[in-house]
Structure 1
Amino acid sequence: MNIIEYADREMLVMNVANKLAGKLKSALSGNDRATLAVPGGSTPGPIFEMLSATDLDWARVDVMLTDERWVGEDDERSNARLVKEHLLTGHAAAARFIPFYRDALTPAEGAEQVAPSLAAYMPLSVALMGMGDDMHTASLFPGDPGLPAALANDAPLLCPVYPESQSTPRVTLPAHVLNGALNKHLVIFGSEKLAALKRAEKLSVKEAPISALLDDLEVYWAE
C-alpha cells in the first residue's frame, strides 16, 4: 500500500482524475478495450466529472461498478444513476456501461445471470474504490454473513450480499476480481478514514475487508 497525501481535496481530485486517465490511455495503447470499475457514493463525484472531460478513446472503454444497490436506475440510491450523471457525460458519454441490476429478479438471481457475462471484461484495467469508516469497500462489509463467499478465490464474478448494517441488498464484485485489477486505486477523505485504513493493516479481513486489497494499492488522501 502506498499512501499519497494531498494538501486539499481539489488538488486530490485533479491529480487522481489525471492519473486514472493516464492508466486508461496506457491500457488502451496495448489492448483493443479497457475496463474501468468505479464505486458509488458521494466521494468520487468530482473525480468522475473531471475524468469525463478527458479526451481519450472512450468508445473503447467499458465502465462497471464495483458494487450496486439492488434498485432500479430511477431510484436515487442507484450507483448506476450516479455514474451516468457524473461520469458518462462529455467525452466519456461514448463509453460502454455494464449494468448489474436486473428488473424483477432477486439479487441472487440477478448476480447469477450477470456474473458469466463479466468474464469478457476481466481483468479490470483500472479499479477505483472507496472505503467506509467501518473499513468496508465495494459491498464487502464486516460482519456480513455473505462476506466469506465474496472473499473466496473461486467466488462468482458478481456476488449477492445482504449486509445487516444496510437497508438495501446489494451485489458486489468479489475480492479476487478487485485484487486482480491491473491498477488499484483508493480515495479517502478525513483523518478518521486514514486512521481506519492504517488500523485495517493489523486486522483480519473479516474485521476489515479493505485489508484484502492492500497489496499494490495506491491510496489518495486529503483531510
Structure 2
Amino acid sequence: MNIQDYPDRDMLAIDLANHLAGELEATLFTHDSATLAVAGGTTPGPVFDVLCAADLDWHRVMVLPTDERCVPQDHSRANARLIAERLLVNRAASARYLPLYLPGAEPEDCLAEVEALLTPALPLSVLVLGMGEDMHTASLFAGMPGLAAALDADAPALAVARPETQPENRITLTAPVLNGALSKHLIIYGAAKRKALERAMSMHPEEAPIAAVLDGITVHWAE
C-alpha cells in the first residue's frame, strides 16, 4: 500500500484524474478495450469532473460502478446518476456504461445477466474505491449477511448486499474482483477516515472490509 498526501482536495482531483487517464491510455495501447470501475457517492465527483475531459479513445472504455443501490438509475442515491452526470460527459460521453442493477428486477434476478456482460471485461483495468468511516468499501459492510462469501477468493463476480445499516439493498463487486484490478486506487478525505484506514490495516476483512483490498493499492488522501 502506498499513501499519497495532497495539500488540498482540488490538487488531489487533478493529479489523480491525470494519473487515471494515463493508466487507461496505457491499457488501450496494448489492449482493445479497458475497464474502469469507480466508486459512487460524492467523494470521486471532482475527479470525474477532470477525467471526463481526458483525450482518450473513450468508446473503447467500459465504465461501471463498484456497487449500486437497487433504485432507478435517475434516483438521487443511484451511483449510476452520479457517473452519468459527472463522468460520462464531455469526451467521456462515448464510453460504454455497464449498470450493476436493472430497475424493476429483484437483485438476485440481475446477477446472471450482468455477470455475463462483466466477465469478458475482467480483470478490471483501473479501480477507484472509496471508504466509509466504518471501513466499508463498495457495498461490503462489516456484519452484513453474506459478507464472508463475498470476501472469499472463489466468490462470483457479484453479490447482493443487504446491510442492516443502509436503507436499500445493493449489488456489489466482490472482493476477488476488486482485488484483482490491475491498478487500484482509494480516495479518502479527512482525519477520521485516515485514522479508520490505519485501524483497518491491522484488522480482519470481516471486521474492516477495506482490508481485503489494501495489498498494492494507492491511497490518495487530503484533509
User: TM-score category by the smaller chain?
Assistant: over 0.9
Aligned equivalents of 2:61 and 2:31: distance in 1?
Answer: 11
Offset at 1:117?
A: 2.3
RMSD after superposition: 0.8
Provide the identity percentage: 54
Look up the match of 1:50: 50
Bigger shift: 107-116 or 190-199?
107-116
- Asked whether the 8 Å contact 2:58–2:92 carries over to 1, the reply is yes
- Asked whether the 8 Å contact 2:69–2:78 carries over to 1, the reply is yes
Look up the match of 2:159: 159
Aligned equivalents of 1:111 and 1:70: distance in 2?
Answer: 12
SS in 2 for 1:131: coil
SS in 1 for 2:145: coil
1:212 aligns with 2:215: no
Aligned equivalents of 2:187 and 2:8: distance in 1?
Answer: 13
Aligned equivalents of 1:104 and 1:82: distance in 2?
Answer: 20
Offset at 1:113?
A: 2.9
Bigger shift: 138-147 or 113-122?
113-122
Aligned equivalents of 2:81 and 2:200: distance in 1?
Answer: 31
SS in 2 for 1:172: strand
- Asked whether the 8 Å contact 1:116–1:157 carries over to 2, the reply is no
Offset at 1:146?
A: 1.8
1:14 aligns with 2:14: yes
> Could you give the per-residue CA deviations for residues 46-84 of structure 1, whole angstroms, max 9, x where no partner exists?
100100011111011000110000011121111001100
SS in 2 for 1:210: helix
Aligned equivalents of 1:78 and 1:104: distance in 2?
Answer: 14
- Output the amino acid matched with 1:191: A
Aligned equivalents of 1:89 and 1:57: distance in 2?
Answer: 14
- Output the amino acid matched with 1:123: P
Aligned equivalents of 1:116 and 1:197: distance in 2?
Answer: 34
- Asked whether the 8 Å contact 2:70–2:101 carries over to 1, the reply is yes
- Structure 2: any 5+ residue segments left out of the alignment? none
- Output the amino acid matched with 2:206: K
Residues matched between the structures, number: 223
Offset at 1:44?
A: 0.4
- Asked whether the 8 Å contact 2:73–2:103 carries over to 1, the reply is no
TM-score of the pair, normalised by structure 2:
0.98
> Could you give the per-residue CA deviations for residues 75-96 of structure 1, whole angstroms, max 9, x where no partner exists?
1111001100000000000100
- Asked whether the 8 Å contact 1:67–1:172 carries over to 2, the reply is yes
SS in 1 for 2:62: strand
Look up the match of 1:179: 179
- Asked whether the 8 Å contact 2:70–2:103 carries over to 1, the reply is no
- Asked whether the 8 Å contact 1:38–1:64 carries over to 2, the reply is yes
Look up the match of 1:73: 73
Offset at 1:103?
A: 2.6
Aligned equivalents of 2:146 and 2:158: distance in 1?
Answer: 12
Aligned equivalents of 1:3 and 1:189: distance in 2?
Answer: 12
Aligned equivalents of 1:71 and 1:111: distance in 2?
Answer: 15
Bigger shift: 174-183 or 104-113?
104-113
In the TM superposition, 1:185-196 aligns within 5 A as 185-196=185-196
Aligned equivalents of 1:146 and 1:164: distance in 2?
Answer: 12
- Structure 1: any 5+ residue segments left out of the alignment? none
In the TM superposition, 1:135-146 aligns within 5 A as 135-146=135-146
SS in 2 for 1:37: strand
Look up the match of 2:5: 5
Look up the match of 2:98: 98
